Amino acid sequence: MSKKSEESHVLVRAPRETTSLYGHGEAETTLLDAYRGGQCPHAWLIGGAQGIGKATLAYRMARFVLAQPLPQASSVQNAMSLVVDQDHPVARHIAAGTHGGLLVLERTLNDRGVLRTEISVDNVRETVAFFGSTAAAGGWRVCIVDTVEELNANSANALLKVLEEPPARSLFLLVSNAPARVLPTIQSRCRKLKLRPLDAADVVRAAADAADLEPTDASLHQAASLAEGSVARALMLLGGATLGLQQRTETMLNALPKVDPKALHGLGEALAGTDRVALLTFADTVERWMGHQLATASPKADLPRLARLSEVWEKVTRAVRDAQDYNLERKPLVFSVFGMLAEAMR
């Protein structure tokens, strides 16, 4: 069931299929200890940068709970990790998306076959029927939300209602690329688990495993060194053209509020067409740059600019997502994004 990832030109296993985990041993132990201690929180908010293994960890926890439904069992008490053999029936059913004890809330296709920009409230309402139905052997029901920030206001409120009165033996695993931006009311009902970016060696191992690449591949090591701890970004950066696009975008961002019209036209041309990887590279580079600006600026000295940049963040994110989901022209997007950022940085 490997698929061609949106982040790369290579075949990449989806998190539901991935049984290996790299670099998050401490977080894994936290989940395991909470489960076998018999006092596992009903909801976890698993946060961290994009592409570092949050969804992979969520599915790993779901597999373990559904395969080992009795926390007091000796197999759980003696477990060293959350690993479940890929040939286990639970692992096979989860990989196929057919396990009756797991509900995954994520963006879906609309009636026209286009990926929605948000997780709809109708999808979230499925949790009522899901948790109200007869549980499988062991009684556990697990819900993975991937990602929380893709919930709209209505769907977030619908999820909150379920979190406020969780059914017995229920487990919610909420994946978030920006946990600080999750509704405070949802945050308050979750135990927070923050994952750190991976070191370069773990990025290489994880990317090689996810995409069936040789871990000695020189281009993979180069991509990992520039990926800032993200496996998804390393896979996206594989290939010289993608690396060059990232560097061009960074150079122009670092020059703001000045914008070189010739360079801007060139960047727009580079993104023209239907290459999804090029668009994702551009979007990822812009998002990381904005995050760095907000994280490193002096609140007192740069308050007006920070306020403008925070406001622009939402507009840029929506513009990129619309271009991605509706296959809009890329050159106008480039001009729009740099126009908004230049104004915010003045």
Domain boundary among 134, 165, 194: 194
CATH code (residue 148): 3.40.50.300
- 219 within some domain: no
Given 133, 159, 194, the domain boundary residue is 194
Q: Is 210 among the domain residues?
A: no
- Say how far apart CA 346 and CA 339 lie, in whole Å: 11
Are 184 and 275 within one domain?
no
Q: Give the confidence band of 251 by pLDDT, cuts at 50, 70, 90.
A: very high
Q: What is the pLDDT of residue 8?
A: 43
DSSP 181: G
Determine if the peptide bond prior to 147 is cis (ω within 30°).
yes
- Let me know if residue 17 belongs to a domain: no
Residues 186 and 282 placed together within one structural domain of the fold:
no
| Residue 214: count of CB within 10 angstroms of its CB | 8
Q: Are residues 253 and 324 in the same domain?
A: yes
pLDDT in tens, 204-221: 999 998 888 889 988 889
Task: Give the range with max mean pLDDT: 58-72, 129-143, 278-292, 302-316.
Answer: 58-72
Residue 44 confidence (pLDDT): 98
**Residue 131, token pair as written in the block:** 């948790």
Q: Tell me how far apart the alpha carbons of residues 46 and 54 are, in angstroms, rounded to a whole number.
A: 6
Share of the chain above pLDDT 90, in %: 52
Structure tokens at 157: 């409120």
Domain stop point among 194, 222, 248: 194
CA–CA separation, 280 vs 40, rounded Å? 37
C-alpha to C-alpha distance for 16 and 183, rounded to whole angstroms: 26
Report the number of secondary-structure helices (H) and strands (E) in the chain.
15, 7
Identify the CA nearest to 327 among candidates 112, 51, 8, 153: 112
pLDDT tens per residue across span 82-124: 999 999 999 999 999 999 999 999 988 778 777 788 898 999 9
How many angstroms separate the CA atoms of 189 and 187, rounded? 5
Whether 155 shows a pLDDT value over 90: the answer reads yes
Residues 134 and 248 in one domain: no
* Lowest-pLDDT range of 127-131, 196-200, 254-258: 127-131
pLDDT at 5 over 80: no
Torsions phi, psi of 78, nearest 5? -100, 0
Question: Does a structural domain hold residue 202?
Answer: no
Could you tell me where the DSSP H helices lie in 184-302?
Answer: 184-187, 200-211, 218-226, 231-237, 240-254, 261-271, 276-296
Confidence band of 6 (pLDDT split at 50, 70, 90): very low
Mean pLDDT of all residues in 227-231: 90
Whether residues 253 and 171 fall in one domain: no
In a domain, 186, yes or no: yes
Q: Give this prediction's pTM.
A: 0.77
Which of 191, 194, 223, 192 lies closest to 206, judged by CA? 223
Domain count, the chain: 2
Give the separation between CA 109 and CA 127, rounded to whole angstroms.
18
Return mean pLDDT, the chain.
87
What does the alpha-carbon distance between residue 60 and residue 55 come to, in Å, rounded to a whole number? 8
| Helix/strand/coil for 46 | strand
- The per-residue pLDDT for 9 is 46
Cis peptide leading into residue 215 (ω within 30°): no
pLDDT tens string 12-26: 678 999 999 999 999
Q: Are 171 and 198 in contact (CB under 8 A)?
A: no
Domain-located, residue 291: yes
The residue-averaged pLDDT of 130-144 equals 77
Q: Residue 203: CB partners within 8 Å, gap ≥ 6?
A: 224, 227, 229, 230, 231, 234
**Within this chain, do residues 187 and 55 fall inside the same structural domain, yes or no?**
yes
Pair 167, 244 in one domain: no
Cα–Cα distance between 43 and 186 in angstroms, integer? 10
Residues 62 and 182 in one domain: yes
User: Does residue 5 belong to any structural domain of this protein?
Assistant: no
Query: What is the tens place of the pLDDT at every residue in 46-91?
Result: 999 889 999 999 999 999 999 999 999 999 999 999 999 999 999 9
What residues make up the domain containing 181? 24-194
| Rounded average pLDDT over 148-172 | 92
**Residue 223 included in any domain:** no
Vertex 67: Cα angle to 63 and 68 (nearest 5): 115
Are 38 and 184 found together in one domain?
yes
